[in-house]
């Protein structure tokens, strides 16, 4: 699964970078999402494979913080990029005549850069909270990686300032991106419903299908982890649910975009013909 995830996402990056037909804002964001997915899954799975082979589940204090920081950076990067891609679809469908002016290359690079800096800030704030743990050597984490949600529960117990910081982080880096996606698709749906022809509606919806599938998969599995951990308190269920959004979701993203996207399939055929 790890190899399929890495190779599939790297293939998307290669196809988008090598085909001039795909040098558009939507595929520029898609290639950055694929890169974030490769880095995201690489923060956990190699360590998990080593643990399985060595039958050792220990991790050092610095190693845990490093893994958690990388995990949060690229998870937040996925979150931000999905919001940016929703905004891109909103501009393309609701303001098609101004699309090239609004989504110019400089602005696209700016959006990716802001997403990356916001992700680093999110990771830094989590590190500041969790660094309050003093007896870290005796901590046991009921998961296959340094799960930020479990570490936050340990670090924030009995600390009002840490609780306020945690809720602020969740609001800014969780609620706001999701709200942006919902607002974009509300506007997109309202605009599409005003299209008189059914063919025009289907064509407009088809441009959002892949992105909407990835959004539902990413947030659905991610929310399922936290709901399950809050209700069942089962370490096995929590670990299995974590695999869904940390390993399975990045693995299926390339298939969703390649199988449901005619431009990607055409670019893959052109790349194959050049190689042959």
Global pTM reads 0.85
Distances in Å between the Cα of 27 and the Cα atoms of 75, 76, 88, 205, 275 are: 19, 19, 10, 17, 22
Token digits for 140? 């046991």
In percent, the amount of the chain with pLDDT more than 90 equals 22
- Residue 189's pLDDT band (boundaries 50, 70, 90)? confident
The confidence score (pLDDT) of residue 10 equals 93
The confidence score (pLDDT) of residue 200 equals 66
User: Is the Cβ–Cβ distance between 71 and 146 less than 8 Å?
Assistant: yes
pLDDT tens-digit map of 58-97: 888 788 888 888 988 998 898 899 999 999 999 988 888 8
Q: Average pLDDT, whole number, for the chain?
A: 81
Task: Categorise residue 55: left if φ over 0, alpha if ψ from -120 to 50, beta otherwise.
Answer: left
Domain at 70, CATH number: 1.20.1070.10
pLDDT tens-digit map of 226-270: 666 555 555 566 666 677 777 888 888 888 877 767 778 888 888
- Confidence check: pLDDT of 104 > 80: yes
Q: How many domains does the chain have?
A: 1
pLDDT tens-digit map of 27-41: 999 999 999 999 999
Q: Among candidates 48, 65, 69, which has minimal Cα distance to 57?
A: 48
| Greater model confidence, 58 or 137 | 58
Range of the domain at 72: 2-275
The confidence score (pLDDT) of residue 161 equals 60
Average of per-residue pLDDT across 200-225: 74
- Confidence check: pLDDT of 162 > 60: no
The confidence score (pLDDT) of residue 39 equals 93
User: Is the Cβ–Cβ distance between 44 and 145 less than 8 Å?
Assistant: yes
| Greater model confidence, 196 or 177 | 177
């Amino acid at each position: 699964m790890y190899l399929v995830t890495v190779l599939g996402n790297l293939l998307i990056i290669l196809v988008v970078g090598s085909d001039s037909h795909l040098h558009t804002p939507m595929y520029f964001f898609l290639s950055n999402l694929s890169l974030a997915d490769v880095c995201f899954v690489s923060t956990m799975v190699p360590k998990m494979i080593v643990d399985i082979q060595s039958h050792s589940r220990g991790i050092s204090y610095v190693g845990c913080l490093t893994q958690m920081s990388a995990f949060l950076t690229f998870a937040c990067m996925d979150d931000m990029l999905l919001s940016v891609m929703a905004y891109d679809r909103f501009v393309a469908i609701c303001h098609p005549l101004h699309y090239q002016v609004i989504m110019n290359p400089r602005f696209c690079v700016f959006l990716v850069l802001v997403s990356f800096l916001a992700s680093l800030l999110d990771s830094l704030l989590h590190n500041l909270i969790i660094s309050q743990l003093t007896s870290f050597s005796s901590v046991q984490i009921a998961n296959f990686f340094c799960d930020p949600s479990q570490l936050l529960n340990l670090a924030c117990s009995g600390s009002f300032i840490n609780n306020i910081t945690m809720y602020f982080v969740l609001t800014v880096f969780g609620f706001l991106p999701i709200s942006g996606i919902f607002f974009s698709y509300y506007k997109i749906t309202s605009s599409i419903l005003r299209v008189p022809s059914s063919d025009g509606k289907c064509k407009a919806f088809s441009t959002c299908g892949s992105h909407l599938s990835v959004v539902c998969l990413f947030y659905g599995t991610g929310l399922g982890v936290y709901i399950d951990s809050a209700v069942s308190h089962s370490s096995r269920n929590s670990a299995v649910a974590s695999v869904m959004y940390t390993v399975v979701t990045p693995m299926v993203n390339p298939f969703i975009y390649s199988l449901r996207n005619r431009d990607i399939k055409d670019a893959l055929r052109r790349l194959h013909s050049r190689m042959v």
